[in-house]
A and B are shown apart, each in its own frame.
Chain A
Amino acid sequence: MSGPLEGVRGIVLTQAWAGSYCTQLLGMMGADVVQLEVRKRLDSWRGSYDGPMPAALRSVPTAQHAWNCNPAYNSVNLNKRTATLDLATPEGVDVFKRLLVHADVVAENFSPRVLGNLGIGYEVMRSVKPDVILVSLSAYGHTGPWANVPGIGGTIEPTSGMSALLGYRDGAPMNSGQMYPDAVAGLNGFAAVLTALHHRHRTGDGQYIDLSMQEANLMFVGDAALEHVLTGAQRPRLGNRHLTFAPHGIYRCAGEERWIAIAAESEAQWVALCTVAGHGEWRADARFADNAARKANEDALDAAIGAWTAGEGRDALARRLGAAGVFAAPVLDGLEVAHDPHLRARGFIAEVDHPEAGRWPQSGVPVRFSRTPVAVTRPAPLQGQHNLEVFGELLGMSGAEYEALARRGVSGVGPPD
């Protein structure tokens, strides 16, 4: 491992996206992150034991277990090791406490009651490891009347104020195309752990971090919250438009499902846009004379730009506009992002070898460091892949002791008996 968190270890109970993304980022910074999984209750992002194999993996001979080949799980658990441990058993709790001694950070995103029910709440953890940092990512936090109300990305988006702001200008509130609030919570949880690590260095003290997905996401639309406080207004859904500047939109290009994002904030960018478009007359058009005029006549502006881009090739146009200093980008789909030359040249998109799924490009570390380089060093782990490795290395557990745990279902691999 390398990276700024080299030497930090997380023993984590995270699952799905929010928690997994938080701890993946810790692993990407060089921390040794061990995810503890429970065979009886699969990480929901592994899917189910009888789930279907993704289409492109059906011809991959190593792809044998659907729960090891779920793209959701495999996309957000890089740079981790995993061990299975049933924390609902006394033996499991005992092993957890022995592991805890070696942990700087514990992270979890269960419902708030779960840790206490398992007998491993923060106070118990602290009695085992006094300076432990525990981060809990839950739907609504661990206090308050909604503390025990469950939630996931798809329900936090509406209850954090995000859905009311997202959508077409003439349409209903929407959720984003995937469970975006999980990503927001995960990034915030990552930042929270780092802040606590720095605090621990200064004081020697760990702490318990209570992260509410609702609150973390509300911060990401906090400008709209402040707008309501100061003006009494609910901001309308903007579609692809900007509050201040025009043009600002996504326009159709030549071909099937080809779209380009174009925006101009300055007069220089507007002039450059008119020039690249070969529509010098737009500059003389009173409706587009300055930003205020363009904003007031945005329907006409979007129509004019859309009529022009419809005959243009998406990628060449984005290059020409970008070179002229105009904000422009192709709308890349999931296959295209994986092959974007810029993201590949920077090493952000890189091939990852997974023991079952095979070799696929994946998105990597979103922050670089000049002194402590970071990289994807491990594919997402197979369920229980590092059981013996982790228990042996950290606890000195013998093969025979592990086999006994596996036989009783406390550890082991695959569907429970």
Chain B
Amino acid sequence: MAKALDDLRVLDLSTSYAGAWCTRLLGDFGADVVMLEPRAGHQLRRLAPFAPDGRSIPALYVQANKRAVAMDVEDGRARPLLEALLREADVVVESYAPARLAQLGLDHAALERLRPGVILCSITPHGQSGELAGVPGNDLTAFARGGWASINGSADREPLNGSAFQASYGAGLAGYAGIVSALVWRDGHPGEGQHVDVAEVEVAASTFAPALLRSLYHAEPHPRRVSADIAAGPVPVADGHFALTISRAHFWRDAMTLLGLHDLAEDQRWEAGWYRQQHREEYVTRVQERMAGWKKMELFDELAVRRVVAGPVLTMEELVANPHLAARGFWAKAADDPDGPTYPGAPFKLPASPWGLERRAPHPGEHTLEVLGALPGVDEPRLRALLDAGVIGLAVAAPQEARA
């Protein structure tokens, strides 16, 4: 079945995890994504942890569904090849500091001259404008300045970052959505490309919006949690941890009844979230004592029958073996690597234009000859000469590429 973006050629010049996630999604929905990387290998290939064969696992995840060309973008000798690639690109994704982008002659106006109607997406820590535009950043700084860390973790300890790459996944996804928004505009206005500007800190702050406005309306910063009770998140049960996050009145009644706490179930004051919040000391200990006698999946199943929201803390082992995800066909192998690892599958199911994992992550420069050789006016002797001159690179054996 046709994929939504199978008419699209994407050139990925980005070096960041966010940029890589953006182009991974473009590839997942059908775009032909060519990733440029230095001859020494993309810098994401240095990220731990590593697979038994030495390859970076985060890189394997975010570089699937792409072809890799090893070529140093900033080497003037590679410029004709770069421009030939840009002439064929419907979408370009990059993560340079804004001033550097202009210096390299890769700003939107320059790209338009090579490819009218091109969509350029820049994903940077702080965006294309403003006093921090040139200041570097990463996931940690995005979650700090974007507010997230201030409410994450315990009040009596340091603020807590999200788990690995959260700001990057969000910014990469926002970049994907921004690109497809620009495509939708171009669908109705042929030839009208544009520059899409994604700031990682703003995507992080966008997902902080409720806590931000709550802080303002209440005239005090939304705090980190003051205690590790069911009002805040998972608590211990017999074989792990379990979140009983009550959001509707009947969840409360039915959960308390199941736990045998009939006085709490029957007193209607407890049905209001704001009341529970103000009187948490009066119930959390009692509820948690009862929960502690349950195994997590048994409690989940009993609450599910009663249509009460509940969350056993699941490990990756449990999720890979999870019957529900299996029944939905969530896990996937790359079509070109049936003996390879199982990947998490589609983030959403689009039946008429489906997600697909067609390609395993490429080795460094694996497609250098294939991609460059297909460019107009490029022949084998020329590629050999560029190879000998150290302008472009070929694939190296897998175990050598990691731990640079």
A255 CB, nearest partner CB in chain B, Å? 14
* Measured CA separation A165–B147 after assembly (Å): 20
Taken residue by residue from 117 to 143, chain A's Cβ proximity to chain B (1 for < 8 Å, 0 otherwise) reads as 000000000000000000100011101
Cβ of A215 within 8 Å of any chain B Cβ, yes or no, is yes
Interface residues of B in 48-95 (CB under 8 A from A): 48-49, 51-52, 57-58, 60-62
CA distance A177 to B173 in the complex (A): 21
Q: Does A149 contact B (CB under 8 A)?
A: yes
Interface size class on chain B is 35 or more
Judged by a CB distance under 8 angstroms, whether B194 is at the interface is yes
Expressed in whole angstroms, the minimum distance between the Cβ of A342 and any Cβ of chain B is: 4
- Can you name 18 A-B pairs with beta carbons within 8 Å? A4-B182, A21-B207, A75-B214, A145-B323, A164-B316, A191-B173, A202-B4, A215-B348, A225-B320, A229-B316, A251-B158, A259-B144, A261-B143, A265-B138, A363-B205, A366-B174, A367-B196, A367-B198
Within 8 A of B (CB), among A143-176: 143-146, 148-168, 172-176
Known contacts A196-B350, A223-B164, A346-B129: A55-B148 contact under CB 8 Å: no
Residues from chain A with a CB closer than 8 A to the CB of B344 are 215, 218-219, 222, 225-226
Docked Cα-Cα span, A224 to B344, in Å, equals 10
Q: A362: CB under 8 A from chain B?
A: yes
Which residue in chain B gives the minimum CB-CB distance to A368?
A: B197
Verify B211–A178 contact, CB threshold 8 A. Answer: yes
Q: B144 near A177 (CB under 8 angstroms)?
A: no
Beyond A195-B5, A227-B49: 10 further Cβ-contacts under 8 Å? A71-B216, A198-B5, A198-B184, A209-B349, A211-B349, A229-B341, A252-B158, A259-B159, A261-B140, A342-B201
Is B42 interfacial (CB 8 A cutoff)?
Answer: no
Among A143, A172, A195, A240, the residue within 8 A (CB) of B140 is: A240
A328 and B246 CA atoms in complex are apart in Å by: 37
Chain A residues 261 to 286 lying within 8 A of chain B, measured CB to CB, are 261, 263, 265
Contact A367 B181, beta carbon cutoff 8 Å: yes
Which of B229-237, B258-266, B287-295, B366-374 contacts the other chain?
Answer: B229-237
Chain A residues lying within 8 Å of B4, measured Cβ to Cβ, are 195-196, 198-199, 202
Contacts of B131 in A (CB 8 A): 341-342, 345
Residues of A within 8 A of B341 (CB): 226, 229-230
CB distance B352 to A335 under 8 Å?
A: no
Asked whether B184 lies within 8 Å of A189 as measured between CB atoms, the reply is no
B residues near A (Cβ < 8 Å) are 2, 4-5, 7, 25, 29, 46-49, 51-52, 57-58, 60-62, 108, 126-132, 135-138, 140-154, 157-166, 169-170, 173-178, 180-185, 187-188, 192-199, 201-203, 205-222, 224-225, 228, 232-234, 236, 241-243, 245, 247-248, 272-274, 304, 307-317, 319-320, 323-325, 327-328, 330, 341-353
CA distance A106 to B61 in the complex (A): 32
Contact B233 A174 (CB under 8 A): yes
Q: Are B159 and A250 in contact (CB under 8 A)?
A: yes
Tell me if B215 and A357 are in contact (CB < 8 A): no
> Could you say which of A158, A162, A331 contacts B163, with CB atoms under 8 Å apart?
A162
In the complex with contacts A209-B348, A223-B58, A345-B129, A337-B212 CB distance below 8 A? yes
Contact A180 B144 (CB under 8 A): no
Given known A-B contacts A76-B209, A243-B49, A261-B140, A165 and B311 have beta carbons under 8 A apart: no
Does chain B have a CB within 8 A of A235? yes
How many angstroms between the C-alpha atoms of A372 and B145 in the bound complex?
A: 27
Q: Which A residues are in CB contact (< 8 Å) with B147?
A: 332-334, 336-337
In the bound assembly, the distance between CA atoms of A57 and B176 in angstroms comes to 38
Task: Name the one of A8, A152, A209, A210 contacting B247, with C-beta atoms under 8 angstroms.
Answer: A152
User: Could you say which of A7, A163, A227, A371 contacts B243, with CB atoms under 8 Å apart?
Assistant: A163
Closest to B108 in A: A370
- Provided the pairs A177-B224, A227-B49 are in contact, do residues A198 and B325 lie with their beta carbons within 8 angstroms? no
Closest 9 CB pairs of A and B: A334-B215, A154-B245, A177-B151, A155-B311, A175-B233, A333-B221, A228-B316, A158-B311, A183-B207
> Which stretch, A43-51, A88-96, A382-390, touches the partner chain B?
A43-51
Separation in Å of the B66 CB from the closest CB of chain A? 16
Assuming the A-B contacts A177-B148, A342-B126, are A222 and B61 also in contact, with contact meaning beta carbons closer than 8 angstroms in the complex? yes
Residue A239 is within 8 A (CB to CB) of chain B in the complex: yes
Chain B's closest residue to A380 (CB) is B213
Among A29, A180, A227, A251, contact of B207 (Cβ-Cβ < 8 Å): A180
With A223-B57, A367-B196 as given contacts, are A198 and B183 in contact (CB-CB < 8 Å)? yes
Q: Are A227 and B210 in contact, CB atoms less than 8 angstroms apart?
A: no
